[in-house]
Structure 1
Amino acid sequence: MNEALKELLDLLDLEQIELDIFRGRSPEERIQRVFGGQVAAQALVAAGRTVPKDRNVHSLHAYFIRPGDPSVPIVYNVERLRDGRSFTTRRIQAVQHGKAIFTMSASFHIPEEGVEHQALRMPEVPDPETLPAVQDRMYELMGDNPALRDMLARPRPVDARYASPLTWEAFQNPELRSANTNVWFRYDADLPDDPLLHVVLAAYASDFTLVDTILLAHGMAWGASNIMGASLDHAMWFHRPFRADEWLLYAQESPWSAGARGLARGEMYTASGELVVSVVQEAMIRPLK
């Protein structure tokens, strides 16, 4: 397990400061705002700490209200909305400086038998082991830039391998523009058999590339295009058990963008083709003058 993954697991181990009140922190990095996937993952951990162990999260719906300040802790307040025979519902609010920065509703469900079908099929893409790590592709794109090489050389908690163009590649070559992105990812370590942990780690990873799918359709890239972007809301549905330490294909598309907003959605599949997670996100994409 590399140091970046150890740090992430430590960030997800929230401090309980009162019944239904938890405190989380951010990595010690020079960043302007807290990564949205981190807030969503920590909020889900807080909710899960208040739910019986026999219930698994099946959906979450979240809004990003204000940018998070990485220099101060985040307080997560959990409200117990309902504890039914089959479903449990929680509302979570993340607070900094006395103001809400994020809110989430999450629903948990006991395992049950039911009718089954899967209409969607996993896209045909190369196996992850045959694809280069995203850092290696970025090296080739950015040239001999010492600052960038330092950044790319840092360990990452998630091993991500693109089976489609990167935004920087489409920025340099308009023929590569597309409203679809396929990314394999996994956490490269043997993780505990805790279902909530694997769901939380999928939630963390789900926010990395969805907004990029909107940019890819327009040949835009962070740091290259004069734009400002931010996640507005985020919804996830967890269909089947899965492991985040095994390869998952994140198939994403952006069906629409206009009015300084864009929509992206994605499905996560196991390597055998089982659909395990669905994701939808709206983001602000604002051109700057």
Structure 2
Amino acid sequence: MTFSQLLDAVRDNPQAVTIPASWSQGRSCFGGLMAALQLEAMRAKVAADRPVRSLAISFIGPPAIDVPISFEVQMLREGKAVSQVLGRAVQNGETVTLIQGSFGAPRESMIAVAAEPAPSFKPVDEVPDFPFIPGVMPEYLRYIDMRWALGGLPYSNTKSPAIGGYARLHDVVEERLTEAHLLALVDTWPPAVLPHLSKPAPGSSLTWSIEFVQPLPAMTTHDWTQYRAVIEHARDGYGHVAAALWAPDGELVAISRQTVTVFG
């Protein structure tokens, strides 16, 4: 199933969505997809004029492949402008992913501060493809086009303080890019600490917070996004990473922070 087909599946029946092995990340489902599916279930419960502003995501346990998942939603509070929503992905009676989301309508304000510009990378056409290698890379990467433009590759024993480059989904027909797509594009990048390792070792996100800069610019699923992640601290098997995602014109669209675990 493609990314778009899985989004359709959670809209049609959020109580029973089965993720196929082609979207696996090691022994589990791709975390960015899990977050995107839960967001779609939450989005259906919130007024359309309240875009998602932020998500706080905890990956409680590894969801199994090819086993139905229920994406449950609870409205915690609905104020005049902001809706606070709890999303819970449940498999075999156990919570595997938990998301607290804030959805907010725009307000009048005299404050307007421009974001920092996108980092200066080589143009995307000058950066080589990051090819998918079956059996070596996580399966979900077959659905992502990536071009590595900053820092060392995973397990290259490169003490990179940052990684980054370009990414887009390539399994979908051209359609409007939404926050669900952005979740997959941000999380498709490996933990920024992995280039420091000299050989493969497991690594995953423990917690993840992401903020969306609204309104999103007009983008499609065929547009390249630009990503940069900076390691702020790492020790004792945990890394703290700040990241951001930009539109093709350099406009900031998402701000991300992750606590990652590394077993190496």
Match of 2:29 among 30, 34, 51: 34
Alignment partners' CA distance in 1, 2:202 and 2:147: 25
Measured after TM superposition, the shift of residue 164 of structure 1 is 2.0
CA contact 1:159–1:187 (8 Å) conserved in 2: yes
Q: CA RMSD in A?
A: 2.7
Describe the superposition over 1:215-270 as per-residue Cα deviations: whole angstroms up to 9, x where unpaired. Answer: 12x244xxx33x33221111100013032522211111111111211111111112
- Higher relative helix content: 1
Superposition map of 1:118-157 within 5 A: 118-135=114-131, 156-157=142-143
Q: 1:148 to 1:237 in 2, by over 3 A?
A: same
Residue number in structure 2 paired with 1:215: 194
Match of 2:53 among 58, 61, 74: 58
Residue number in structure 2 paired with 1:236: 210
CA contact 1:201–1:244 (8 Å) conserved in 2: no
**Uncovered stretches (5+) of structure 2, i.e. residues with no partner:** none
**Uncovered stretches (5+) of structure 1, i.e. residues with no partner:** 1-5, 140-146
Paired AA for residue 14 in structure 1: A
Aligned residues between the structures: 257
Residue number in structure 1 paired with 2:162: 180
Q: 1:161 to 1:16 in 2, by over 3 A?
A: closer
Residue number in structure 1 paired with 2:147: 161
Describe the superposition over 1:4-48 as per-residue Cα deviations: whole angstroms up to 9, x where unpaired. Answer: xx6111111234688xx5332212447521111111111101100
Residue number in structure 2 paired with 1:201: 181
Alignment partners' CA distance in 1, 2:220 and 2:242: 19
Point out the structure with max Rg over C-alpha.
1
Identity %: 24
Alignment partners' CA distance in 2, 1:153 and 1:84: 41
Match of 2:252 among 262, 272, 275: 275
Measured after TM superposition, the shift of residue 272 of structure 1 is 2.2
Residue number in structure 1 paired with 2:238: 261
Q: 1:65 to 1:207 in 2, by over 3 A?
A: same
Alignment partners' CA distance in 1, 2:220 and 2:152: 23
Deviates more, 1:113-122 or 1:54-63: 113-122
